Chains A and B, each alone.
Chain A
Amino acid sequence: MAHLCLFSLLVLSLVLETQALTPTHHLTTTDVARLQAVLSQPFTDLKSAYYSVVGLSKLGIFVADADETCRFINSNLDPSSVESLFYAAEASQALSGCEIPVTNDTRDLLLATVSEDSTASQIHQSVSALSALGLPLASQEVVSALKARISKEDNVLAIILALQTASRLSQQAELGEILEEIEDLAARLDDLGGVYLQFEEGLEATALFVSAAYSLSDHVDMEPPLKEDQVIQLVNSIFSKKSWDSLSEAFSVASAAASLSNNRFHVPVIVSAQGPAAVSHSHPFLQLQVTDVLCQPLSSASVLVESASAVASKSAILSQAPFTLRDGVFELNFMASQPASGYYQFSVAITGDSRFVANHVELKVKVSTRVAINNMDLSVVDKDQSIGPKTTRVEYPTKAKASFMADSHQNFAMTFQLVDETTGVELTPHQTFVRLHNQKTGQEVVFVAEPDSKNLYKFELDTAERKTEFDSISGTYALYLMVGDATLENPILWNVADVVLKFLDEEAPGTIQAKTLYVPKPEIQHLFREPEKKPPTVVSNAFTALVLSPFLLLLILWFKLGANISNFTLSPSTILFHIGHAAMLGLMYVYWTHLNMFQTLKYLAIIGSLTFLAGNRMLAQKAVKRYSNYREYFVYLSDLFLMW
């Protein structure tokens, strides 16, 4: 049971490891040199002197004339300012044999600054100055002051300075709570696309965080709560910028680089191929540079190819093959395994130190080779197969002596083989073209030669079939073979022979104009939609009159039938109804000419409701008048009842 657990854990860790990030950005030797140059600029004041001296010391470089610098520091020191004392103390500690005179007042000033009322930055400066000058300090007081400041100033920079300060205190002090701030700060980092991890305050804050976190972790000998992927993302963020705006930014990058290359827990490994990751018979060694973030080679590392497999066929070529270290570069003779040409996926592991982070790298390696053309046979075959083909063999790079004739009765054919020069294995490069070039007219036609199942390349030219490509222009064409591929070291352009082609019904346009692709094209005139043909106005008017004419007929008929308005009562509801009804008809006309549905519905609601109320009254009155005969009304009611 325990074995199973262990095994599954191992498998899980392997799986997790293989999916770990590798740094996409790192400092190259030129970048490190540039960083040094920025930090080596002549300093103007104490602050820039501090950055330069301490920054360079982190990169392992010591200032040229230490005495001159020491004198500069002493002359610019202002003993009444904590900041000035901090810069001077730190800078003098980085220089060998530089002393800052310390008075009791200085010491009292520095000790007094350690309190809850000073800012975190001030506490940091005074504690660092005290420790650099070798003066005693009360660590517990500092811790309580820092804790108070952290809760008051909750910003990232203050907490980073608190971490830096804590790394100067005695190990007996209770640094546990401050140590927890590392995790809180790490949670505040912004993950950009899974590649970068940085504070929104910027590069400097991120770099200072890294150096503070590792210096505190080293001081208390506890691993910082940063996962491997997070460390790599931090590396990407900090080292993605290769030129720095200010001295303080350069200083922060130098501190971060120094702490990442030399701490007790995490050392990110940078693996890069020297030159292109390509091998061939002339360059059989695959060379890798394995360094830390400051481009210093890792002495204790041993590099191993865990597996190498071809990309195309996925067959494994190598397994567990070690690299040998030579002159600071790790190399492996890959050609010794006699790989076929193509691309290979390498999985490389760097071991030797448990601190290594991102020590599994995936590389794509190209194996190039030289190609040779074998058995180039040119022949002219009769279409009706009555006469046997005449085959001429041509050797690369010579040209066939005689030119070949092909007209409508004959086909021109070409067969050849492409092989690897050293191994003799057949190759199928990406580009195998046959180019026919008419020297007189400058016309050029390109065909593709295809391999058959036995990897024998064939090309056939049927003049009758292909006359459109040639524009039916007869003449002498120079035949070239073009072979190319990414994995070929020697791409080939070979003038194999001359071919005389004869086409039927030659148009002979004289000279060929180069296809005019980039000439202005004829302008397109936009045709607007033609309005539909309307009938002449006379016809429309005549039919309008015709359609309206039955109304006259209606009036006449009604008059004849004796329609009258004698029953028209002048009650208000009647008048209102008729006005309302007329208004509704008028609204219909206005709707047709001016309004939209929403407005019409609005007006219709108003007029309609008025008309309805008036009409209801009017019709009720009419009904009452009609039912003035009670008997009829009674009959009506009884019928209604019967219906139920």
Chain B
Amino acid sequence: MSNSVFSVISRFVEEYRSSTPNKLKMIDAYLLYILLTGVFQFLYCVLVGTFPFNSFLSGFISCVGSFILAVCLRIQINPQNKRDFLTVSPERAFADFLFAHTVLHLVVVNFVG
């Protein structure tokens, strides 16, 4: 059982390494960074306490929001999805990403206190 799981994982990693374009890999690295940041914040909250709660919430929401926006960017940039995003050029996707981030950070900084 574990053997098949291990082989699936190694196959997946191999496929990923070879077929994913560099751009997407960079975004994936960014996603991993955001994920880890969010996890560490949550860990702090669980271990030490929820004070100050608003700061925790704003930081956590920031991570979650950034993750989602980055995922959207990744989907829109992926050349394999070009059919689904004919009106959205990669530049447009990036511009949307930046704008959404501005709004997200405005809210996050307001709430962090």
Using CB atoms and an 8 Å cutoff, list the residues of chain A in contact with chain B.
Answer: 532-535, 539-540, 543, 546-547, 549-551, 553-554, 557-558, 561-563, 581, 584, 588, 591-592, 597, 600, 604, 608, 615-616, 619-620, 622-623, 636, 639-640, 643
Question: Does B16 belong to the interface (CB within 8 Å)?
Answer: no
Residues of B contacting A: mostly: helix
A622 to B110, CA, bound (A): 34
Q: Would you call B89 and A623 a contact (CB within 8 A)?
A: yes
Q: Would you call A561 and B102 a contact (CB within 8 A)?
A: no
Q: Would you call A619 and B95 a contact (CB within 8 A)?
A: yes
A643 to B87, CA, bound (A): 9
A636 to B85, CA, bound (A): 11
Partner of B102, one of A546, A553, A604, A636: A604
How many whole Å from B78's CB to the nearest CB in chain A?
15
A-B contacts, 5 of them at CB < 8 A, read A535-B51, A550-B36, A550-B37, A561-B29, A619-B95
Partner of A588, one of B40, B44, B89, B105: B105
Q: Would you call A546 and B40 a contact (CB within 8 A)?
A: yes
A584 to B103, CA, bound (A): 11
Q: Would you call A640 and B95 a contact (CB within 8 A)?
A: no
Question: Does B1 belong to the interface (CB within 8 Å)?
Answer: no
Q: Which residues of B contact A616 (CB under 8 A)?
A: 95
Q: Would you call A547 and B102 a contact (CB within 8 A)?
A: no
Q: Which residues of B contact A533 (CB under 8 A)?
A: 51
Q: Would you call A558 and B26 a contact (CB within 8 A)?
A: yes
Q: Would you call B44 and A592 a contact (CB within 8 A)?
A: no
Q: Would you call A550 and B40 a contact (CB within 8 A)?
A: yes
Question: Does B12 belong to the interface (CB within 8 Å)?
Answer: no
A543 to B43, CA, bound (A): 9
Q: A592-B112, A639-B86 given as contacts; is B94 within 8 A of A550 (CB)?
A: no
Partner of B109, one of A554, A592, A622, A623: A592
How many whole Å from B17's CB to the nearest CB in chain A?
11
Q: Would you call B95 and A615 a contact (CB within 8 A)?
A: yes
Q: Would you call A581 and B106 a contact (CB within 8 A)?
A: no
Give B112's nearest chain A residue, CB to CB: A592
Q: Which residues of A contact B98 (CB under 8 A)?
A: 581, 615
Partner of A557, one of B32, B34, B48, B106: B32
Q: Which residues of B contact A549 (CB under 8 A)?
A: 36, 40
Q: Which residues of A contact B22 (CB under 8 A)?
A: 561-562
Question: Does B67 belong to the interface (CB within 8 Å)?
Answer: no
Q: Would you call A604 and B106 a contact (CB within 8 A)?
A: yes
Q: Which residues of B contact A543 (CB under 8 A)?
A: 40, 43-44, 48
Q: Would you call B94 and A619 a contact (CB within 8 A)?
A: yes
A553 to B109, CA, bound (A): 24
Nearest first, the 10 closest Cβ-Cβ pairs linking A and B are A619-B91, A550-B36, A554-B33, A557-B29, A543-B44, A550-B33, A547-B40, A535-B48, A592-B109, A623-B91
How many whole Å from A289's CB to the nearest CB in chain B?
80
A604 to B82, CA, bound (A): 33
Q: Which residues of A contact B87 (CB under 8 A)?
A: 640, 643
Partner of A554, one of B30, B44, B51, B59: B30
Question: Does B25 belong to the interface (CB within 8 Å)?
Answer: yes
How many whole Å from A397's CB to the nearest CB in chain B?
77
